[in-house]
Amino acid sequence: MGDLYKELEKDIRYREGLNACINCGICTSVCPAAEVSDYDPRMVVDMVQQKDESILRSLLSGDTIWRCGECLSCKTRCPRGNVPCYIIQSLRSLSIETGLFAESREGRKQLVVKRTVGDHILKYGYCVYIDEVKNDWYPEQGPVWEWLRENRKETLERFKTSYGKDQAGTLRNTAEESLEDLRRIFDETGGTARFNKIEEFSARKAAEAGLDFSGDRDEYFNMLNNGEEQEK
């Protein structure tokens, strides 16, 4: 067994998620992601069970593990008590830890998630902060985001929120003391280290592509966020 498998087996999610797959395919039959993408949780579990280092490396450096929505539908239906979603989570963690996420188109998008949702949590205490969301980030919303941003003051007041205010109520400003506590939680649980890994390996990939990687909405981020990347 190779070094990658030794690292994978240290993850409690891997150990709890994989008992003895019988390849029945029930997980795939109930998986929403399998309905709309090239994703097959049964296949992933089968590949992991083989304990082949080259196969594992292909999973860690490929797109497949990033297509799971982590809905846990598979957990409720497996007749052997396997949880493919847990296995996927452990694979994703190892992919980021080793930098192999940066070798796949879907994996590289972790930088976008980190610099939007991740950074928003640490800066504002919210996953999505209206003033930081650009309309073209979510084209599937149609005119909704644009209208909300243009009319946010009246709309948020109508719903009696405390958006942008230092007072009690929904969407209020998060106290700096609470944000410091949140950052300490990230430090202690490995979240900060995970974010640093994403930045570190993304910087290397940006350098390979000759793209600016100065931070925030730099050239490399915009390429990933706008879906302009071309496979080399």
Residue 110 confidence (pLDDT): 97
Question: In this predicted model, what pLDDT tens digit does every residue of 149-198 receive, in sequence order?
Answer: 889 889 998 999 999 899 999 999 999 999 999 999 999 999 999 999 99
Query: Measured between alpha carbons, how far is 183 from 172 in angstroms, rounded to an integer?
Result: 18
Q: What is the pLDDT of residue 228?
A: 76
pLDDT band at 230 (very low <50, low <70, confident <90, very high): low
Confidence of residue 146 (pLDDT cuts 50, 70, 90): confident
Query: What proportion of the chain, given as a percentage, has pLDDT over 70?
Result: 98
Query: For residues 213 and 232, what is the distance between their CA atoms, to the nearest angstrom?
Result: 19
Q: Is the pLDDT of residue 229 over 90?
A: no
pLDDT digits (tens, 9 = 90+) for 14-59: 999 998 899 999 999 999 999 999 899 999 999 999 999 999 999 9
* Other C-beta atoms lying within 10 Å of the C-beta of residue 184: 11
CATH 1.10.1060.10 domain locations along the chain? 3-106
According to the model, what pLDDT value does residue 232 have?
A: 44
Average pLDDT, the chain: 92
Terminal-to-terminal C-alpha distance of the chain: 31
Per CATH, which fold does 3-106 belong to? Fumarate Reductase Iron-sulfur Protein; Chain B, domain 2 (1.10.1060)
Query: Would you mind telling me the total number of residues written for the chain in this entry?
Result: 232
Instruction: Please tell me the least confidently modeled range out of 15-19, 130-134, 228-232.
Output: 228-232
Report how far residue 44's alpha carbon sits from residue 108's, in angstroms, rounded to the nearest whole number: 20
What is the helix (H) or strand (E) element at residue 10, kind and residue range? Answer: none
